[in-house]
Structure 1
Amino acid sequence: MSFTPQPIPTPTAPLQAAVRYGAIALAVLSVASAVIAYLALGLPGLWGALIGAALGGAFILLTSVSVLFSARLSPTSLGAVLLGGWIAKMLVAVVVLGVLNGMTFYHRSTLGIVVLAALVIVLGAETYGVVRSRTPYVDSSDDSDGK
């Protein structure tokens, strides 16, 4: 009889699970919303759904990815990366929405609904990934005093 221990997860395992579940949820939402919008509204609905999924999903997923890749940085550097990433995401979102404002090839309501759905669904999937992941808890208190 042999014993094969389970590998110990890394400290970034919850973040990796969050990104994985978020990406899967975004893919499912993108396909489902594109099909539903195309069947209901035609090509403008399809474009609205695809742009909405890309905009909303990227906004949430990029936060998790930036936290994952900067997890080993100091708290100050991590804060700078997150703040800089948030400012960049806001600028990109404002520019994209500003460019799309005068165009008529997409359905505006579909874009708005899918952006909101992407924000909620991807964030929920990321939360599920973090809560579901198992990470070891180690108490580093000194037990040498006999208590």
Structure 2
Amino acid sequence: MSTNDESQAADAPQRKPQWEESPSAPLINGLKYGTCGLGILIVVGLLVWWPFKGMPGLWGALIGAAIGGSFILITVIAILLTSKASPSAVMAALMGSYLVKVVIVIGVTATIKNMDFYNKPALVSVLIGAIVLVLGGELWGVMSTRTTYVDPDETTGQ
């Protein structure tokens, strides 16, 4: 590479990664922050409930995080997977994923309802925490993503 090529490369503006320029960048950041929030909650939930209630506390925290976190994160994943599809396909994917999530949650809770290997307060507290933290993380990721937008030109009517 010549010195002229090196100076041109140094003067060129730094390009953002491809995902930061895409319209789905806010959703990707929301997924990233939501997943990080869920990971932090799992660690905190285990640090609180495992020493306090032993193995039932551990299982309650893990089940609560799995149910609460997956319920919210699957929605973002479904939107990302169908982002280039038609609006009716996106709606079908969202409604289908919601139906599958509800059936799974009802099935899991009905199955473990009378079991005693987990602590119910641990499950409920971590489940509520997962919903709040994952939604908050996703909101933060979407709201903090800088995206390019263009206002329509009022003089041309476009």
| TM-score, length-scaled by structure 2 | 0.86
Which residue does 2:116 correspond to in 1?
A: 104
Report deviation, 1:2: 1.0
**The one of 11, 17, 22 aligned to 1:2:** 11
Superposition pairs for residues 1-147 of structure 1, below 5 Å? Answer: 2-7=11-16, 9-141=21-153
Q: For 1:2 and 1:143, how far apart are their aligned partners in 2?
A: 36
Stretches of structure 1 that go unaligned for 5 or more consecutive residues are none
Stretches of structure 2 that go unaligned for 5 or more consecutive residues are 1-9
Runs of 4+ with deviation above 4 angstroms: 142-145
Report deviation, 1:141: 3.8
Are the equivalent residues in 2 in contact too, given 1:46–1:106 (CA < 8 A)? yes
| TM-score, length-scaled by structure 1 | 0.92
Q: For 2:22 and 2:140, how far apart are their aligned partners in 1?
A: 18
